[in-house]
Amino acid sequence: MKSIFFRRQFMPLLLACCSMAATAQNRMTPETLWGLHRVSGNSISKDGRFVYYSSKTVNWKTEKSTVHQYRINLEDGSRTEWTAEGRTITQRYGNAWYSFSDNFLYQSTDSGNTWKEIYSGLQGAENVWVSPNGKYVAFSKDVMIKPANGTDIYSDLPNTTAKIYTDLNYRHWDAWDDGKYSHIFVVSLKEGTVKDIMEDEAYDCPQKPFGGAEDLAWSPDSKGFVYVCKKKAGKEYALSTNTDLFFYSMNTGTTSNWTEGRMGYDTQPLFTEDGRRIAWLSMSRDGYEADKNDVVMMDVATKKVINLTSKWDGTAESFIWSNTGDRVYFNAPFEGTVQLFDAEVPRTDRDKVVVNNLTKGKYDINGVIGQAGGEIIVSRCDMNHASELFAVKPKYGDMRQLTHENDQVYQKMEMSKTELKSIQTPDGATLRTWIIYPPDFDPKKKYPTLLYCQGGPQSPLSQFYSVRWNFQLMAAQGYIVVAPNRRGMPGWGVQWNEAISKDWGGLAIQDYLTAIDEVSKASYVDKNRMGCVGASYGGYSVFMLAGVHNNRFKSFIAHDGLFDLKSWYGTTEELWFANWDIGGPYWKQPAPASYEKFNPINFVNKWNTPIMIVQGGLDYRVPLEQGLEAFQAARLHNVKAKLLYLPNENHWVLHPQNGIAWQREFFKWLDETLK
């Protein structure tokens, strides 16, 4: 599940133990990894001559970050640093740029050289959207709707810590419900009026916990905007994925539902430059958050909807309109990578939509920024390189590198070889598996080998450059890494992607065993030093494999894994996921088979291998008790075990020094158990 287990664009860079700094200088180390620049594409100038981007660095000692902003001339490749004086750049329309800091909104009409204050009422704002005509400002802000904290309910009890709830969704991701909801406000800069367009609704926009600026889009004529909202609360919210796109009219002050009857996620609305069309990402089934994500468009005047990718056997991640509005460009998982595609808008009802694969290579197109002339500006990474910006010529798939933030580091570094190997499974399927080799790999030697179990469970295992599970760093410590594209991963067709639902411990687990058995036939794999690691569904996989691996592995590491599906169902928050993937509650009659056949706790009597368990204290998706139960079960079975508890972390590790501790313990454990 994407929102549960793996969000590549938001995860922090991983760290490792200081002792590993003693390895050769031409290998990846934790210090080098943390020193890399994190590149993000922002926008493109209206004339298509310049690309704007930011480069961020993190100091793990102070846990502070520094951001620099640059402009690249696409004609000669020159780079110029520009600044908004520490402000957050929000957007650009024509020659006008907007930024905000604290309570103030600023405008620049000379490419960021000078700025003037145009509004000062942004107290508490988290997102700011200026209308294309510059007359209005929309922003999101939390407002109290339904008090839940005792201090908000009882004014005479300032020291109470009570929280009172009468329905579900009382906590989400890493935060307890405090009764506040993120609402959209609209300001008329001329009149100074401010309006909460959601009034007393107990709903959020942007969507929590991960929604942002992509959840609202102004129409190019500034007559209104479309925003994403799931207008459900309590138990209904916890059971449903049905978000809709709502249009707010500036003329009438009314809101209408543009996607009524579409039952799954509808997200990322985006108008064409002329405003005639709007497109968005859409899933068809309520409760299935890993459903096929289609690019759907609508004619704004007629409200006619066309699914541009309905006949294509894949799932989209993000998209942009072409400058002419006659096609969309989007990125999507494809055969162990993420590539760039396009789909042309049909001119007549008789025309078929054709999806074209524009790029092919051993890399991920992990972001699509925009079109500049005849090129598409994208973000690209691979298992040996962090993200940089590239320009793609869509006709031929050729691309040129635009940013070079990390070139000096990589030029001095010996890279790992990566190979996508085809393996036949017992049921006759082809399992494609990434193999990552140490930088100085010698087939005449023997190497300790790690089976990597991906989260999700329906997240792509591609050429991503992980900000925590970093294959380059693992290989640099002398490990071969085996990363199978097992059942449940997108990029191999919808049927393969859906094969894992209600079969968590079935074919997917068999795929893991098949992959490690095949790879371990090689003479350079030391069968006496094989480990298995993973997080979330990957952590669940580790727990399952610990009970069925038949002594293949000498060590396990599980991070935020599901150990007991029954207790997990009773404490997790997004119940739509459990209902879809597990089959429903454990008290259902007949009870879903997963609770017996695929529940790791039922196999704990067979645990006999050292296991390290990592658990975040603020993880409400896979709550604390899952890790504690697993650790306690291991020790009571006299299994060597270690618990790494991170009280202030959620499903990820976001604090740099916690990340360093995480990596030190990760490799220390492997050193102890794979000697």
Contact 525, 518 (CB under 8 A): no
Amino acid code (one letter) for 412? K
Amino acid code (one letter) for 621? R
Contact 560, 521 (CB under 8 A): no
Helix, strand, coil fractions of the chain, as percent rounded to 5:
20, 35, 50
Q: Can you tell me the mean pLDDT for 333-339? A: 98
Six token digits for residue 181: 């909801």
Q: Compare 515 and 95 and report the one with higher pLDDT.
A: 515
Buried b (16+ CB within 10 A) or exposed e, 392-417: bebeeeebeebbebbeebbeebebbe
Q: How many CA atoms lie within 13 A of 287 on its CB side?
A: 13
Residue 85 pLDDT grade (very low, low, confident, very high; cuts 50, 70, 90): low
Contact 314, 460 (CB under 8 A): no
pLDDT of residue 5: 38
pTM, 2 dp: 0.95
**Which residues contact residue 42 at a Cβ distance below 8 angstroms, ignoring those fewer than 6 apart?**
52, 53, 54, 69, 89, 369
Query: CA nearest 505: which of 448, 561, 462?
Result: 561
Residue 10 pLDDT grade (very low, low, confident, very high; cuts 50, 70, 90): very low
Report the Cα 212 to chain-centroid distance in Å: 13
Amino acid code (one letter) for 208? K
Could you count the other beta carbons within 10 Å of the beta carbon of residue 665? Answer: 17
Concatenated DSSP letters of 353-366: P-EEE---SSSEEE
Contact 480, 398 (CB under 8 A): no
Cα–Cα distance measured from residue 285 to residue 465, given in angstroms and rounded to the nearest whole number? 31
- Return the active site residues: 536, 619, 651
Pairing of strands 555-559, 611-616: parallel
Q: What rounded mean pLDDT belongs to the chain?
A: 94
The structure tokens 């006008």 sit at: 96
Q: Can you tell me the mean pLDDT for 263-285? A: 98
pLDDT of residue 399: 96
Cα–Cα distance measured from residue 307 to residue 87, given in angstroms and rounded to the nearest whole number? 39
Lowest mean pLDDT among 58-67, 259-268, 538-547: 58-67
Contact 259, 228 (CB under 8 A): no
Residue 9 pLDDT grade (very low, low, confident, very high; cuts 50, 70, 90): very low
pLDDT of residue 510: 98
Handedness of CA 566, 570, 573, 579 (dihedral sign): positive
Is residue 230 predicted with pLDDT exceeding 70?
Answer: yes
Looking at residue 602, the DSSP 8-state letter turns out to be: G
Residue 424 pLDDT grade (very low, low, confident, very high; cuts 50, 70, 90): very high
pLDDT of residue 22: 37
Lowest mean pLDDT among 20-24, 383-387, 504-508: 20-24
Is residue 242 predicted with pLDDT exceeding 80?
Answer: yes
CA distances from 343 to 184, 312, 449 (A): 32, 10, 41
DSSP H or E segment with residue 325: none
Q: Can you tell me the mean pLDDT for 138-148? A: 98
Residue-wise pLDDT tens digits, 558-591:
999 999 999 999 999 999 999 999 999 999 999 9
Q: How many CA atoms lie within 13 A of 241 on its CB side?
A: 25
Is residue 349 predicted with pLDDT exceeding 90?
Answer: no
Q: Can you tell me the mean pLDDT for 3-17? A: 37
Is residue 607 predicted with pLDDT exceeding 50?
Answer: yes
Residue-wise pLDDT tens digits, 105-142:
999 888 777 889 999 999 999 999 999 999 999 999 99
Fold topology of 410-673: Rossmann fold (3.40.50)
pLDDT of residue 440: 93
pLDDT of residue 20: 40
Query: CA nearest 576: which of 262, 169, 269?
Result: 169
3-state secondary structure 151-205: HHHCCCCCCCCCECCCCCCCEECCEECCCEEEEEEEEECCCCCEEECCCCCCCCC
Handedness of CA 334, 449, 655, 68 (dihedral sign): negative
pLDDT of residue 56: 94
Cα–Cα distance measured from residue 542 to residue 626, given in angstroms and rounded to the nearest whole number? 13
Beta strands in 224-357 (DSSP E): 224-229, 244-249, 255-257, 266-271, 277-282, 294-299, 305-307, 318-321, 327-334, 337-344, 355-357
Termini Cα distance of the chain: 35
Is residue 6 predicted with pLDDT exceeding 60?
Answer: no
Residue 90 pLDDT grade (very low, low, confident, very high; cuts 50, 70, 90): low
Lowest mean pLDDT among 13-17, 69-73, 595-599: 13-17
The phi-psi region of residue 27 (left if phi > 0; otherwise alpha if psi is between -120 and 50; otherwise beta) is: beta
Residue-wise pLDDT tens digits, 620-651:
999 999 999 999 999 999 999 999 999 999 99
Cα–Cα distance measured from residue 341 to residue 11, given in angstroms and rounded to the nearest whole number? 25
For the chain, give the percent of residues with pLDDT over 90: 87
Is residue 24 predicted with pLDDT exceeding 50?
Answer: no
Cα–Cα distance measured from residue 19 to residue 238, given in angstroms and rounded to the nearest whole number? 45
Cα 10–Cα 12–Cα 18 angle in degrees, nearest 5: 170
Is residue 615 predicted with pLDDT exceeding 50?
Answer: yes
Residue-wise pLDDT tens digits, 304-318:
999 999 999 999 999
Residue-wise pLDDT tens digits, 183-204:
999 999 999 999 999 999 999 9
Query: CA nearest 144: which of 180, 170, 173, 116?
Result: 180
Q: What are the start-end ranges of the H helices in 549-582?
A: 565-569, 575-581
**Which residues contact residue 92 at a Cβ distance below 8 angstroms, ignoring those fewer than 6 apart?**
43, 45, 46, 52, 98
pLDDT of residue 101: 85
Q: Can you tell me the mean pLDDT for 647-660? A: 93
Is residue 598 predicted with pLDDT exceeding 60?
Answer: yes
Residue-wise pLDDT tens digits, 455-498:
999 999 999 998 789 999 999 999 999 999 999 999 999 999 99
How do the domains of the chain map onto residue ranges? Answer: 410-673
Query: CA nearest 574: which of 538, 621, 612, 531?
Result: 621
Residue-wise pLDDT tens digits, 486-523:
999 999 999 999 999 999 999 999 999 999 999 999 99
Amino acid code (one letter) for 247? F
Buried b (16+ CB within 10 A) or exposed e, 561-600: bbbbbebbbeebbbbbbbbbbbbbebeeeeebebbeebbb
Beta bridge partners of 486: none
3-state secondary structure 28-71: CCHHHHHHCCEEEEEEECCCCCEEEEEEEEEECCCCEEEEEEEE
Cα–Cα distance measured from residue 622 to residue 572, given in angstroms and rounded to the nearest whole number? 6
